[in-house]
Amino acid sequence: MQSGVVVPAGIDPKRIPNHVAIIMDGNGRWAKQKGNQRIFGHRSAIAAVRDTVEGAASVGIGHLTLYAFSTENWGRPKLEVDALMKLLVATIRKETDTLQKNGIRLNAIGNLADLPATTRREVAEAMAATAINTRMTLTLALSYGSRNDLVQAVQKLAHRVASGQLHPEDITETLVAQQLSTWGIPDPELLIRTSGELRISNFLLWESAYTEFVVLDKFWPDFRREDLFEALRQYQSRERRFGKISEQIQAS
């Protein structure tokens, strides 16, 4: 267990997942319920992100991945997209020092080239500034879509086959995984989704083959570290069999 780790009651410190991924859903609906514009929900979600990141680091989670902006989100109204990009820049700029102080490394996956130049630059600078931190890696999925990531992986392998560098029969799961933007990040053991929606929304499709899912019936702006801890308790209450039977797991 890492130095400075504080594990709440009911959580086994020896069974903390190394990687937790979160689909942060419900900002717009949360704002509408309160009679506000959707962007108000996105601004209010920053507190949830901050508390969740701090909570994850406090219990020794090694990797936290947040689904911040999908490839499909580009289809939202331009005013909302522009406001989201500006909010992202402002938030990263404000929080980089806090990430540094807490030993958290910032990472990003997705089609980053599609982001506005200012956003790309802010993300790159924050990643460079926190590159040597080792306490936890915070990955933002930006302009990310898992199907698109898989298509790009297949295209890379197809080019290698066409050029004679690779035989089709030599393509393995590891070789496919190496082409994905998530290469180097362990597969998530736990995926949390807020807002009560029961779908994966094109997020980490390959990586979530054996991930445990916890869906919470609350919108993301209301999410706090206590909700993360409750999801960890649910995760630890399950038996992860990976296609085997209970007797095999218990005997191992």
Residues annotated as catalytic are: 25, 73
Residue 29 burial (CB < 10 Å; 0-12/13-18/19+)?
middle
- At a CB cut-off of 8 Å and minimum separation 6, what does 251 contact? none
Tell me the three state secondary structure of residue 252: coil
- Chain-centroid distance of CA 186 in Å reads 12
User: What residues contact 95, with CB distance under 8 A and at least 6 apart?
Assistant: 50
Residue 41: name the closest of 200, 175, 219 by CA. 219
The b/e string for 139-174 (b: 16+ C-beta within 10 A; e otherwise) is bbbbbbbbebbeeebeeebeebeeeeebeeeebeee
Q: Report the alpha-carbon distance of residue 147 to residue 206 in Å, rounded.
A: 9
Sign of CA dihedral 128, 131, 133, 138: positive
Element (H, E) at 67: strand 63-70
SS3 132: coil
Number of CB atoms found within 10 A of residue 31's CB: 21
Gyration radius from the chain CA atoms: 19
